[in-house]
Structure 1
Amino acid sequence: MAAAESACTPSGSAREAWVSSGELNLRVVEWGPPQAPAIVMLHGLRSYAYTWEPVALPLLHEWRIVALDQRGRGRSDWDPNGNYYADAYVRDLEAVVDHLSLRRFVLLGHSMGGINALIYASRHADRLAGLVVEEAGPGASASSSGSERINRELRETPPSFANWHEAAEFWRKVRPDISAAALQSRVTHSLKLDHDGRLTWCHDAAGIAKARLTATPDQQIDLWPHVEALKMPTLLVRGARSDYLSSATANEMYRRNPLIRLVEVPAATHYVHDDNLTDFNGVLQRFLTEIRNLDGRISLP
């Protein structure tokens, strides 16, 4: 793997903006025409806005893609109080939607971002033409083998690396199914050089790990009421080899709400769009075409 040229930094085809949420400044990355219908994309626990770039690029002729560096990630501010819990993330999303004056849009979230998307969607049905949830569902973040794996990774993740090769080897070890392109993206956008010449994390690794590993029961969200409250067409995407969102939970979500469509993507783990981008993009693009046809308020200009 070639050395990354920069870290936490913009990509050539993207636009960047900043949105205030309380005392934090959050980075928003956009692709596509500003006047086109919008899709807002939320990344997972240790990810970043640019994870969505390969998902966004095929959509540019018809959609405006808005990706958020959620608090403590990418170039967004770290929370000095370590408030990395769902209600704070949802407030941030509300601030972004209001700042950009998004009146009707599609919302997509992966893992932690999927949890935040489900909560937002249950509270703001009037804003959403459609919802896409990639690998998130009730109980998955607290009691699955995938959640145990993630907690173990958080405890064992080194604070820094000597070089780009060492960093790439770390990500390859914890994401053995990741594609080469997704691995390059993850190394480039999740790490930065410190003053000693070592590579450190762009995200607040210590604060995020502490919030996750020490969460109390009242800081954990029961997602079933949010699933049942959804009032918009919803695509639930599960990786066929996922250790996080079980087939039983995904099917129960589908059973409880008739607006949910469940699709399993082959050759993918919990990190579906990193493992099998081609099939993920195909599933997403078919759903978006249906949304445009169904929802007159999101028709193209």
Structure 2
Amino acid sequence: MTTDPTTGTDRFTTLNGLRAHYVEWGQPDASPVVLLHGLRSYARTWEPVAAALADRHRLIALDHRGRGDSAWDPAGEYTTEAYVRDLEQFADALGLHRFVLVGHSMGGTNAIVYAARHPERVRLAVIEDIGPGSSASGEGAERIRRELARTPREFAGLAEARAYWRGVRPGISAAALDSRVANTVRQAADGRWVWKFDLDGIARARLDPDPSGQVDLWPHVEALRCPTLVLRGDRSDFLPTAVCAEMATRQPLLTWKEIPGAGHYVHDDNHAGYLATLREFLGEHRDRR
């Protein structure tokens, strides 16, 4: 059965005891591409990218635990280790033996760690605007900490929610804003609009100063065994060019490119540029199995 090339098909599975939601586009027997979203995002953030690639690929976007339509973790385990364990079960559940792995921000961290641990499964990796140290220090890391600490717990209406996201991301397109509002808030029984994602649990994990909960990406970057493309928004405050250059120096299989007119959310900020670069990379390595 072919999934809807525009809106995709919603599916559910169970990962480490939690109900997990994912969306599929394209032909089920086509070359699989797994898409991993960022810290406060959701599977359908990839909808425009997936719809554009659905003629040649099977696109699979996962709602990480605590986001979208996936279950919240009552233990608040929102760490790289937990996400990677989920991804391991996800690949097994769907029978994904060789696939392309694409990740934005937090999803990029998860993609790097998974690809390093499972070189037999990941044939290509695309990492969007994150690298070693990005989440620990720097202007972008501090911005995200401030935003998490100041995020309102509820909204009186959708207009208020839209204004919040517009304030956080002033340059967001109308389409991306519509998607973000539709997929990150829901109406409670009393009429208030509340977050669909586990804001308190995710914030606690992200703001926890304990270094044991953080991952050093350098060993994982060095352990990669597949061609890897890092995409940086040229206006990003999160991924310095110096880190991109060092990643390429330490890992010969890794290349990086800047996408003009984009900040941290590269696939939103310059969709055409992101898509063209992604297609070029996939085309260059289409014969790699």
Instruction: Give your verdict on TM over 0.5.
Output: yes
TM-score bracket, normalised by the shorter chain, equals over 0.9
Superposed, 1:23-102 pairs within 5 Å as 23-102=17-96
Counterpart CA distance in 2 for 1:290 and 1:247 is 24
Counterpart CA distance in 2 for 1:269 and 1:242 is 4
> Residue 244 of structure 2: which of 242, 250, 256 is its match?
250
Question: TM-score by structure 1 length?
Answer: 0.93
Paired residue type of 1:182 = A
> Residue 183 of structure 2: which of 173, 186, 189 is its match?
189
Counterpart CA distance in 1 for 2:86 and 2:240 is 29
Counterpart CA distance in 2 for 1:23 and 1:131 is 27
Counterpart CA distance in 1 for 2:5 and 2:181 is 14
Unpaired runs of 5+ residues, structure 1, are: 1-9
Residue 118 of structure 1 aligns with which residue?
Answer: 112
Residue 6 of structure 1 aligns with which residue?
Answer: none
Question: TM-score by structure 2 length?
Answer: 0.97
Residue 272 of structure 1 aligns with which residue?
Answer: 266
Counterpart CA distance in 2 for 1:60 and 1:213 is 37
CA contact (8 A) 1:129 1:291 kept: no
CA contact (8 A) 1:19 1:95 kept: no
Counterpart CA distance in 1 for 2:285 and 2:168 is 35
Counterpart CA distance in 1 for 2:277 and 2:66 is 30
Counterpart CA distance in 1 for 2:171 and 2:241 is 19
1:59: how far off? Answer: 0.5
Q: Give the SS at the match of 1:115.
A: helix
Unpaired runs of 5+ residues, structure 2, are: none
Paired residue type of 1:180 = A
CA contact (8 A) 2:6 2:47 kept: no
Q: Give the SS at the match of 2:230.
A: strand
Paired residue type of 2:127 = V
Q: Which has the higher contact order (CA 8 A, sep 6+)?
A: 1
Paired residue type of 1:212 = R
Counterpart CA distance in 1 for 2:7 and 2:197 is 23
Q: Deviations over 1:44-101 (max 9, x none)?
A: 0000000000010111110000000000000101000000000000010011100000
CA contact (8 A) 1:29 1:67 kept: yes
Q: 2:152 aligned with 1:147, yes or no?
A: no
Residue 216 of structure 2 aligns with which residue?
Answer: 222
Counterpart CA distance in 2 for 1:180 and 1:238 is 22
Counterpart CA distance in 2 for 1:272 and 1:255 is 23
* Seq. identity, %: 53
1:284: how far off? Answer: 0.5
Residue 97 of structure 2 aligns with which residue?
Answer: 103
> Residue 237 of structure 1: which of 209, 226, 231 is its match?
231
1:15: how far off? Answer: 1.2
1:13: how far off? Answer: 2.9
Counterpart CA distance in 2 for 1:205 and 1:11 is 31
Q: Give the SS at the match of 1:140.
A: coil
> Residue 157 of structure 1: which of 151, 170, 177 is its match?
151
Q: 2:279 aligned with 1:285, yes or no?
A: yes
1:281: how far off? Answer: 0.6
Structure 1 residue ranges (4+ consecutive) displaced by more than 2 angstroms after TM superposition:
10-13
The number of residue pairs the alignment matches comes to 286
Q: 2:10 aligned with 1:16, yes or no?
A: yes
Counterpart CA distance in 2 for 1:118 and 1:16 is 26
1:165: how far off? Answer: 1.1
1:215: how far off? Answer: 4.3
Counterpart CA distance in 2 for 1:13 and 1:218 is 39
Measured on the aligned residues, the alpha-carbon RMSD in Å equals: 1.3
CA contact (8 A) 1:41 1:107 kept: yes
CA contact (8 A) 1:177 1:268 kept: no
Residue 4 of structure 1 aligns with which residue?
Answer: none
Q: Give the SS at the match of 1:133.
A: strand
CA contact (8 A) 2:5 2:25 kept: no
Paired residue type of 1:131 = A
Q: Give the SS at the match of 2:285.
A: helix
Counterpart CA distance in 2 for 1:85 and 1:140 is 15
1:246: how far off? Answer: 0.7
Q: Give the SS at the match of 2:135.
A: helix
Residue 211 of structure 1 aligns with which residue?
Answer: 205
CA contact (8 A) 1:135 1:239 kept: yes
Counterpart CA distance in 2 for 1:208 and 1:13 is 27
